[in-house]
Chain A
Amino acid sequence: MATGILTKEVAIYAVPLVTLLIGILIGYLAQRSGYCSIGGFRDYVLFRHTRLLSGYVTLIIASFFGYLLFWFLTPAAMEHFFWAFTSDPLTPVPGAPAGLLPGAYLIFAAIPGFFVGLICVLLGGCPIRQTVMASEGSYKAAFFFVGMCVGSVIFAAFVSGWVVVLMRAIGLGA
């Protein structure tokens, strides 16, 4: 069990507060900079603009160095850093539906990745850009967010079970 700086008794109260503050900071700066991961790739393909893309590439690099820094400072909180060396390299960090073989997680990464990219570029922004545009007063982006909210209930109730059944049916269940 990983232990962070705060004890569990304190952390359960700190979770909503800390994430709210982080969110306000990110939301403010995302509105200022027009931050968008999908938009970065799109602008590069269309105009060879690297401004937005630099934001996403910096995020990947900075997260590595951020985790590295806190792995030195608080090793107990970074139990499985660097994941590819401490675990089976082809299994993901938990978050996707559990209990499947590595092949299933490669499918889970490759196919959703392609369609997330395709749908988001056609709708003009990744999830954070849509959330920010909704706060700027765009009704259609607000409907995107409502779709995400409805989708999260449907995913937990039905779809997460279905994909596991599907993967077991093609022989990728653990």
Chain B
Amino acid sequence: MPAASDTTSLYALMSRLSRHPAFLGALIGIVAAFSQALLISAGGPEAYGFCVACHTRDLVNGLSNIIAGTSLALAPLSKNAILPVMSVVGVMIGAFLSAKVHKEHKIRKTDYQEYLIYFIGGFVVLQLAMIFGGCPYRAALRTGYGDITALLFIITMALGVIVGTLLMLRQAEKEIN
């Protein structure tokens, strides 16, 4: 039965593709450009199709402005629209659905000290990302858009990761000895 095996192999191919990071990388790049082409009339900035840090900022500050009547700063795109950008909510819904469907959803609790470290980590990472004007994803989009400062951000980020990895390695060696 060629037809059936064709569908099976197509399904297997899609399944393998969906699990490869490069597929998602290509998809985010194209979709971010498409979303700018579609929505830029509502307001800037450019190269703003997908960014976890900025879109979280827009979501929180935008909802706070609507609900509590504050006037916190956010991107013009979210300011002009009826609701701020919702991509972070989408990421949460999508990841939750995927984890449920593939039975990978599992509640993992740790101690309060670690919660505090992660809370402070998230807080500091957002400040740093906002000073630059984007998380690693918007940095990649801005690099593709032709922004040299974003390329500098990626290079120093790679340096930071190398230093952090070496620190982790040294820590692990200490624990073994």
User: Residue-by-residue, is B99-120 near A (CB-CB < 8 Å gives 1, otherwise 0)?
Assistant: 1001011111110001111111
Count chain A residues whose beta carbon lies closer than 8 angstroms to a beta carbon of B.
128
For the complex, would chain B's binding face be called helix, strand, loop or mixed by DSSP majority? helix
A96, B78: Cα distance in complex, Å? 16
A169 on interface, CB distance cutoff 8 Å:
no
Give the distance to chain B from A154, nearest Cβ to Cβ, in Å: 7
A157, B4: Cα distance in complex, Å? 59
State whether A155 and B127 are in contact (beta carbons under 8 Å apart), knowing that A35-B24, A95-B75 are contacts in the complex.
yes
Count chain B residues whose beta carbon lies closer than 8 angstroms to a beta carbon of A.
130
A61, B151: Cα distance in complex, Å? 12
- Chain B residue numbers with a CB within 8 Å of A172 are none
A-B contact pairs, 30 of them (CB 8 A): A4-B38, A8-B41, A12-B42, A15-B84, A16-B82, A17-B86, A18-B38, A23-B86, A29-B27, A30-B91, A31-B104, A41-B161, A42-B161, A42-B164, A42-B165, A83-B146, A92-B149, A93-B142, A93-B147, A95-B75, A96-B133, A113-B154, A118-B163, A119-B160, A121-B161, A132-B91, A139-B107, A156-B61, A156-B72, A160-B131
Given A33-B24, A62-B28, A63-B32; 16 other pairs, CB 8 A cutoff:
A4-B41, A11-B38, A13-B82, A15-B83, A16-B84, A31-B98, A55-B21, A62-B29, A63-B28, A63-B145, A78-B37, A82-B145, A115-B160, A118-B160, A136-B106, A144-B118
